[in-house]
Amino acid sequence: MNEAPEGKEGTAMRVGFIGIGNMGWPMAANIAKAGHAVTVHDGSAERMARFVAEHGGRAAETLADLGGCEFVVTMLPTGQIVREVLTGGAGGGLAPHLGAGTVVIDMSSSDPLGTQELGAALKARGIALVDAPVSGGVPRAAAGTLAIMIGGDDAEAIERARPLLRTMGDRLFDTGPLGSGHAMKALNNYCAAAAYAATAEALIIGERFGLAPETIVEIVNASTGRSFVSELVMKEHVVTGRFATGFQLGLLAKDVKIAADLGEALGIEAPVSRLVRERWSLARERVGAERDHSEAIRGWTQEPDRKG
Ligand code: NAD
């Protein structure tokens, strides 16, 4: 294996990848396919073993096994879990095992204020943190064509990370200081969640009046009410009853909460974000956090499906 401390394009890098779930799996697979030495870590030992069997690399049974990585990518459910993994627990998490100069890239959809706190804690150890959340869902994660929003205070660390990020995404946006990528991601998902809530209400009202759901979605998609949500989520997953986007309801409810909480923390009058937060929180309660996010509409009809 090449020694490639600078992580230059074309040279193999030692990459730790934590969280090989719906998104992390195909992202880590693309890093491995690009020829980098990937060490995966996940709460599920079975997933780690399967990943190594399919894509090579190594499984890190403990966080200490990730020591020696030049880059550590996190793709975990929440920023709180990311902080716990990096600096929490009795042993202080992964950070004490990483050398100075390591770049940690948090690609999860984390909360930006927590990211700034984590950045300060890591910086004290000479470790740089870059936030690089993604958009595009599982299909674009698999294709290596994610949109990536890059925030960070260490310009050199961002440049070192960029070739690695290019193995996972083809649209890279520099958003500004540390946490700005995470703020941007939450705001984007808030827009999508608001579109879903509005389109779901149009479906519920229209159906009660006697319109067929297929007709409503078809006409919205040919008219000014269309959005990514109406064109993909409503058409392919809600009207068909497939409910299989691969993005869990609890994760989107978390993102909306991050965006609305951020507005509150900044003292902004943003009542729509608060209402959308409330609606997604209700859907999570009634439908279940683990269910597909496209099922949220079931939580807002009079007879919610409580299978979750
Ligand atoms: P997921 O639940 O499928 O995957 C999370 C993985 O993390 C699981 O494999 C789990 O075992 C592992 N994990 C959880 N806690 C852990 C811990 N303490 N230590 C080690 N491993 C742990 O979630 P996902 O859909 O892959 O989402 C990951 C992140 O990406 C979230 O922040 C989500 O909001 C964001 N995101 C998801 C999508 C999507 O379409 N699914 C799109 C963009 C962004």
Query: For residue range 132-188, what is the model confidence (pLDDT) as tens digits?
Result: 999 999 999 999 999 999 999 999 999 999 999 999 999 999 999 999 999 999 999
Position 4 in a domain: no
C-alpha closest to that of 288 among 238, 251, 261: 251
Instruction: Please check whether residues 267 and 137 belong to one and the same domain.
Output: no
Domain boundary among 139, 155, 177: 177
H and E: helices and strands count for the chain: 12, 9
Q: Please give the pLDDT value at position 5.
A: 37
Report the distance separating Cα 129 and Cα 72, nearest Å. Answer: 10
C-alpha of residue 71 to centroid of ligand 1, in Å = 18
Q: What does 60-114 look like in DSSP terms, one character per residue?
A: -SSGGGGTT-SEEEE--S-HHHHHHHHH-TTTT-SGGGSPTT-EEEE-S---HHH
Nearest atom (ligand 1) to Cα of 20: 9
Dihedral, CA atoms, 26, 99, 108, 154, nearest 10 degrees? -120
How many domains does the structure of the chain reveal? Answer: 2
Within 78-145, strands assigned E span: 103-106, 128-131, 134-135
Mean pLDDT, the chain, integer: 95
What confidence tier does 91 reach under pLDDT thresholds 50, 70, 90? Answer: confident
Instruction: Please check whether residues 248 and 152 belong to one and the same domain.
Output: no
Report the distance separating Cα 308 and Cα 288, nearest Å. Answer: 4
Instruction: Please check whether residues 128 and 191 belong to one and the same domain.
Output: no
Q: Convert the pLDDT of each residue in 189-246 to its tens digit.
A: 999 999 999 999 999 999 999 999 999 999 999 999 999 999 999 999 999 999 999 9
Instruction: Please check whether residues 152 and 88 belong to one and the same domain.
Output: yes
Instruction: Please check whether residues 270 and 205 belong to one and the same domain.
Output: yes
C-alpha of residue 19 to centroid of ligand 1, in Å = 6
C-alpha closest to that of 47 among 15, 10, 75: 75
C-alpha of residue 220 to centroid of ligand 1, in Å = 32
Domain boundary among 152, 177, 202: 177
- Most informative mutation of 17, 20, 22 for ligand 1 (most atoms within 8 A of CB): 22
Q: Which domain holds residue 38?
A: 14-177
Position 24 in a domain: yes
Adjacent-strand bridge partners of 18: 41, 74
Q: Convert the pLDDT of each residue in 101-110 to its tens digit.
A: 999 999 999 9
Instruction: Please check whether residues 188 and 168 belong to one and the same domain.
Output: no
Nearest atom (ligand 1) to Cα of 138: 40
Instruction: Please check whether residues 80 and 158 belong to one and the same domain.
Output: yes
Nearest atom (ligand 1) to Cα of 245: 40
Report the distance separating Cα 279 and Cα 224, nearest Å. Answer: 24
Instruction: Please check whether residues 77 and 220 belong to one and the same domain.
Output: no
Q: What is the pTM of this model?
A: 0.93
Position 307 in a domain: no
CATH number of the domain bearing residue 142:
3.40.50.720
Domain boundary among 177, 194, 227: 177
Atom 12 (ligand 1) nearest CA: 19
Instruction: Please check whether residues 213 and 105 belong to one and the same domain.
Output: no
Instruction: Please check whether residues 147 and 25 belong to one and the same domain.
Output: yes
Residues that are catalytic: 185
Position 5 in a domain: no
Instruction: Give me the phi and psi of 152, to 5 degrees please.
Output: 170, 155
CATH number of the domain bearing residue 212:
1.10.1040.10
Instruction: Please check whether residues 194 and 148 belong to one and the same domain.
Output: no
**Within 6 Å (CB) of ligand 1, which residues are found?**
18-24, 41-44, 47, 75-77, 81, 85, 108-109, 134-135, 137-138, 246-247, 251
Position 7 in a domain: no
Atom 42 (ligand 1) nearest CA: 137
Instruction: Please check whether residues 221 and 162 belong to one and the same domain.
Output: no
Which of 5-9, 75-79, 171-175, 280-284 bottoms out in mean pLDDT, i.e. has the lowest? 5-9
